[in-house]
């Protein structure tokens, strides 16, 4: 019997997770690996297990401890915060991926400036890594913005 006092039934919300785009998944993998590698490097620098030899004198203040702390903050904490923000679907995280890529590129350029030319093969590797993160972040931001502007586009 249908009447005025009938309360319409609400269908329960389905908790189907939305699949992340491939560019975002790639960014998450690259940034998690970067944070892990930077954290390991920072522990090595701060703890004295990683020796830079004569290059230590060319570091700011000649300190591997300060270099390790800077490495941990720039390439360890920053990507971790962005990964957590992405996993929690924070709006700011989409654009923050770009900051991670540019920070890594800047880190390598400054590092080569302090330690001298020619760069070590690891510096070339991480420079490429930073470029990859930057390109993927730019592409991810464009895809997300185009979906936001055009809701019919899936």
In percent, the amount of the chain with pLDDT more than 90 equals 51
**Hey, is 77 helix, strand or coil?**
helix
Q: What is the pLDDT of residues 59-114, one digit of tens each?
A: 777 778 888 899 999 999 999 999 999 999 998 998 999 999 999 999 999 989 88
CA distance 105 to 40: 19
pLDDT: is 118 or 5 the higher one?
A: 118
CA distance 30 to 80: 11
Tell me the average pLDDT of the chain. 84
The residue-averaged pLDDT of 18-30 equals: 91
CA distance 69 to 6: 64
**Hey, is 31 helix, strand or coil?**
helix
CA distance 94 to 141: 6
Q: What is the pTM of this model?
A: 0.77
Query: In sequence order, which ranges of the chain are alpha helices (DSSP H)?
Result: 22-47, 64-72, 78-87, 91-115, 121-149
């Amino acid at each position: 019997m249908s009447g005025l006092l009938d309360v319409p039934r609400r269908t329960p919300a389905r908790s189907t997770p939305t699949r992340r785009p491939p560019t975002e998944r790639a960014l998450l993998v690259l940034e998690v690996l970067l944070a892990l590698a930077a954290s390991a490097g920072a522990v090595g620098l701060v703890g004295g297990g990683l020796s830079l030899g004569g290059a230590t004198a060319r570091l700011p203040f000649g300190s591997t401890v300060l270099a390790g702390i800077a490495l941990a903050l720039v390439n360890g904490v920053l990507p971790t915060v962005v990964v957590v923000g992405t996993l929690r679907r924070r709006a700011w995280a989409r654009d923050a991926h770009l900051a991670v890529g540019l920070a890594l590129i800047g880190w390598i350029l400054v590092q080569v400036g302090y330690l001298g030319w020619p760069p070590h093969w690891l510096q070339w590797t991480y420079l490429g890594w930073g470029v990859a993160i930057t390109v993927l972040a730019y592409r991810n931001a464009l895809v997300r913005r185009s979906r936001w502007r055009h809701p019919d586009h899936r």
